[in-house]
Amino acid sequence: MPPNTTASSGHKPGKSGRKKGRKARLLVLVLVLAIIGGIAYGAYWSISTVRASLPQTTGSITLDGLSGPVDVKRDSYGIPQIYASSDADLFMAQGYVQAQDRFYEMDVRRHMTSGRLSEMFGKGQVKNDEFLRTLGWDRVAQKEYDTTLSASTKKYLQAYAKGVNAYLKGKDGKDISLEYAALGFENSYQPQKWTPVDSIAWLKAMAWDLRGNMQDEIDRALMTTRLGPQQIADLYPEYPYSRNQPIVTEGEYDEYTKTFGGGDSSTSTSTGGTTGSTSSSSGSALTSQLSGLSGVLEDLPTAVGVNGQGIGSNSWVVAGKNTITGKPLLANDPHLEASLPSVWYQMGLHCRAVSSKCQYDVSGYTFAGMPGVVIGHNQDIAWGMTNSGVDTTDLYLEKLSGDGYLYDGKTKPFTTRTETIKVAGGASKEIVIRETNNGPLLSDRDDELVKVGKKATVDTAAPDRGDGYGIALRWTAEDPGTTMDAVFAIDKASNWTEFRAASTKFDVPSQNLVYADTKNNIGYTLPGKIPTRGKGDGSLPVPGWDPSYDWTGYIPQAALPYEYNPKRGYIVTANQAVIDKDKYPYTLTTDWGYGTRSQRITDLIQSKIDGGGKISTDDMRQMQLDDSSEIAKLIVPKLLKLDIDDPDVRQAQKLLEGWDYTQDADSAAAAYFNSVWRNILKLAFGNKLPKELRVKGQCLFVTPVDTTGPADEADQKVRECGERDADEAQPDGGDRWFEVVRKLMDDPTNDWWKTPKSGNRPAAANMNQLFERAMIDARWELTAKLGKDIDTWSWGRLHRLFLKNQTLGTDGPGIVQYILNRGPWKLSGGEATVNATGWNAAGGYGVVWVPSMRMVVNLDNFDKSKWINLTGASGHAYSAHYTDQTSKWVNGELLPWSFSSKAVDDSTSDSLVLKP
């Protein structure tokens, strides 16, 4: 054992039974046999190496620094509940326990947030490190720790770090996780001590992945190389307020009136989607640097999402008057990239007696590497989160010179710093990071970006472009914030007033927060640091040399939308518009989600209420699993009216007859429809987008730049190949594209419906002809993928989930990937459904992002609440708890969520005492 610990007994199986232990032993056997077979990453792994990092979960361990004993009680899924008598002991134990299960994951994350991945993984990560150093997450986190966070938050962060370091003391890489041995770190790698800043920096990574419309800003600018202003507007329609309700419809408008009171809301009232300053009638854009920037973003390792694209979530709360129990029910399922282990770590943090010395009794979902509970409930309230999507990032064109950059007619010097990137197995690399008054120069970080936009066109009077423009990023998270304070304040809030006060500290990333309490109140609030702008609306890059485009401040917290106990008796947030733009004087964003999921949830709740029913915990679970396709309801009736000549295609068409539009994994109709939908998007839009947005390697013969769309193959036009990763390409098939198609269906001869012939496929001159062409293409695409016999088709055969270890599971040798990765699983659900198992229609049918966890909180009896994680508590590939929740997650099941002392004791399998 490490020198600062003593054990009275080792790990012993508890009530979890022998089956899971047998599975763990079998996996150990597989590992040992594989390794003995000589297929290791460069080192021999013995049985002791495989077993070394298995955490001790029974008996006792002595930890220096504790003031009293701490109990760690794990259930049969390895989920820990921690009991302590002081705040410092509670968070120290949290750090120790999370490090036991997840330290490798924590270590990789901190190397990512500090731009030091090359230290672990070599020269292949240098480009990523350069970009991450330019963003400077760890530098901002250090400023937060030094200047903005409260004394109590610092104390908790220090206690957490002390717990992590108590776990690390005396351990080599092989004692911590199998991955270190695989990397060849078994004898040489010594993890550095954990610091409070390591925890804070993770919030910056979370903010980056939930940053809002930056990718849309890039995409719109890139579209101008091939599309005109009206065509781009067609692809970014207005939010359908009349059909899909925004979150706030009964909000406290009196507060808005008092706050604004004839004040200066004129600074940011633009609502259009394409009114930024880089559009032009010629359609030219920042092709060189923006396509390069998009490429850099694709290559970055994701933190908690899919690099800002496709990120959604569902959360809703139902008041007691509409529930079986008479008290509120609250559901949440954040949609994030599928990762192994899951980004979430379930646990409870309990003070034995809540007092001024020990203030917490909270349970829920945490991030390994960060103290506190992010989503969950305490003894009085529950809360959930969804990404608000508000616009907190702007790209600025900068006119550069050797001496600096132009601003307000004068050349200002860059702010610069030099940093050294250490590279495992190679020479270090030194980089210079330059910043303007608008933020770091992202265009310094890619060979393509150095060309700095020679084609850039700006509506305002532009300076001599010389070699072009650079791109700087203005982002709220580049300034020190207080989100870490908010986490602890929310964890101990006991009522709506305290919750709202705590939420005002949740400045980055801005989230939709839903609320319920045991006193039968429900609520919603939008916190966040949301900028106001002089000119421009954040939809396109703007000229950094013109002060009129500067940010003018931030929307006052008291002026942000909220609702409390609305008369309808429920609140739904699923990334739709927060509030009707005509009822609110500030611009929050021009790029909301389009409300497909939120309206479906609203309809499900309202139909239950209208039918005189009361909603149960299981009703909430069933709503989370709803996989009805809203776009299928719109399109299938049109498809069924088409007169198809080909008998094989007609046979596939018949699958849609009587289909209820649900996307079950075993549904042949869902498989065929989604293939038709994919081909509609490809023919109508995908083949007409610029190469920078299309899938890498997919090549087309295209017409000249001044026209739209692909050419007939016989027309000998220019051959262009796509440049974007499949999971990031357009059209992705999300509910923005639902809205695009919905509007165009009212104009069946619109030019978007026209597509040339290809091979033996006929040209299309209108919507019906394009739909028929898509049905033909889909039939033969599925024949190639699933076979000619449609009786064997199923959506789940196309729509599969693979869980991959985020480092060696993607880039390691085959045997290491086999050991670390899991799957596939055949999934129900789909894009923009409530059961949002997202896929990118441009790239294929594979699952890209998922409900990363699901929970339903019962405010009448917390012990009757339910929860599930995507994977399991453990990050150790040979642990019984590595993916022991996944099959239940796939089947839509939820686990019991014990909270009271008695319920926790009844569900405890392993008990560990941490002693001072």
d(CA 201, CA 195): 10
Beta bridge partners of residue 670, listed in sequence order: none
pTM: 0.91
Among 598, 387, 593, which residue's Cα sits nearest to residue 510? 387
What is the arithmetic mean of pLDDT over 25-49?
A: 46
Contact 474, 438 (CB under 8 A): yes
pLDDT-above-90 percentage for the chain = 71
- 43-62 tens-digit pLDDT: 445 556 666 678 999 999 99
Between 3-7, 508-512, 598-602, the lowest mean confidence (pLDDT) is in 3-7
| Token output for 6 | 């003593």
pLDDT of amino acid 785: 98
Phi-psi group of 308: left, alpha or beta (phi > 0 → left; psi -120 to 50 → alpha; rest → beta): left
- Would you give the DSSP letter of residue 116? -
d(CA 288, CA 762): 35
Strand, coil or helix: 491: helix
716-718-723 Cα angle (round to 5): 140
d(CA 563, CA 514): 9
Residue linked to tokens 């410092």: 88
- 223-271 tens-digit pLDDT: 988 899 999 999 999 999 999 999 999 875 434 433 322 223 333 333 3
| Token output for 378 | 């305490």
**In which element (H, E) is residue 596 found?**
helix 596-610
Contact 723, 291 (CB under 8 A): yes
- 802-839 tens-digit pLDDT: 999 878 777 777 788 888 999 999 999 999 999 999 99
- 477-522 tens-digit pLDDT: 999 999 999 999 999 999 999 999 999 999 999 999 999 999 999 9
Residues 6+ apart with CB under 8 A from 916: 62, 63, 64, 65, 66, 67, 68, 69
Contact 696, 723 (CB under 8 A): yes
Beta bridge partners of residue 61, listed in sequence order: 7, 914
Compute the residue count for the chain: 916
Residues 6+ apart with CB under 8 A from 721: 691, 694, 696, 697, 698, 699, 700
d(CA 174, CA 154): 31
Distances (CA, A) of 525 to 379, 679, 745: 20, 40, 36
d(CA 274, CA 234): 10
Beta bridge partners of residue 335, listed in sequence order: 312, 851
Q: How confident is the model at residue 710 (pLDDT cuts 50, 70, 90)?
A: low
d(CA 435, CA 416): 6
Give the chain's radius of gyration (CA, Å). 27
- 138-155 tens-digit pLDDT: 999 999 999 999 999 999
d(CA 158, CA 582): 47
pLDDT above 60 for 3: no
Q: How confident is the model at residue 200 (pLDDT cuts 50, 70, 90)?
A: very high
Between 276-280, 598-602, 631-635, the lowest mean confidence (pLDDT) is in 276-280
Question: What mean pLDDT value characterizes the chain?
Answer: 87
Helix H, strand E, coil C: the string for 878-907 is: CCCCCCCCHHHHHCCCCEECCCCHHHHHHH
How does strand 70-75 pair with strand 80-84? Answer: antiparallel
Residue linked to tokens 């954990």: 194
How does strand 59-62 pair with strand 895-896? Answer: unpaired
Distances (CA, A) of 909 to 58, 71, 76: 9, 13, 5
pLDDT of amino acid 814: 79
pLDDT above 90 for 187: no
pLDDT of amino acid 816: 80
pLDDT above 50 for 21: no
What is the arithmetic mean of pLDDT over 208-225?
A: 84
What is the arithmetic mean of pLDDT over 293-301?
A: 71
350-356-357 Cα angle (round to 5): 65
Between 441-455, 573-587, 745-759, 871-885, the lowest mean confidence (pLDDT) is in 441-455
d(CA 129, CA 111): 9
User: Is the backbone peptide bond immediately before 13 cis, with ω within 30 degrees of 0?
Assistant: no
What is the arithmetic mean of pLDDT over 9-22?
A: 43
pLDDT above 60 for 840: yes
Sign of CA dihedral 221, 223, 224, 228: negative
Residue ranges in 177-330 assigned as alpha helix (H): 178-182, 196-209, 214-223, 229-235, 253-260, 287-299
Q: How confident is the model at residue 718 (pLDDT cuts 50, 70, 90)?
A: confident
What is the arithmetic mean of pLDDT over 168-173?
A: 90
| Token output for 835 | 């059961």
pLDDT of amino acid 32: 44
Q: Strand locations in 33-164, DSSP E?
A: 59-62, 70-75, 80-84
pLDDT of amino acid 49: 60
Q: How confident is the model at residue 189 (pLDDT cuts 50, 70, 90)?
A: low
pLDDT of amino acid 14: 44
pLDDT above 80 for 278: no
Residues 6+ apart with CB under 8 A from 679: 773, 774, 775, 777, 778, 781
| Token output for 734 | 């999300």
Strand, coil or helix: 816: helix
d(CA 286, CA 468): 9
Q: How confident is the model at residue 465 (pLDDT cuts 50, 70, 90)?
A: very low
pLDDT of amino acid 469: 76
Strand, coil or helix: 432: strand
pLDDT above 60 for 33: no
Helix and strand numbers, DSSP H then E, in the chain = 28, 32
pLDDT of amino acid 181: 80
Q: CB-based burial of residue 719 (10 Å sphere; 0-12 exposed, 13-18 middle, 19+ buried)? A: exposed
d(CA 206, CA 137): 11
Q: How confident is the model at residue 185 (pLDDT cuts 50, 70, 90)?
A: low
Q: How confident is the model at residue 715 (pLDDT cuts 50, 70, 90)?
A: low
d(CA 748, CA 752): 9
Among 1, 17, 20, which residue's Cα sits nearest to residue 9? 1
Strand, coil or helix: 450: helix
Amino acid at position 268, single letter: S
d(CA 266, CA 257): 14
| Token output for 292 | 């390069």
d(CA 662, CA 669): 9
Distances (CA, A) of 7 to 16, 57, 166, 618: 22, 11, 14, 43
How does strand 800-803 pair with strand 822-826? Answer: antiparallel
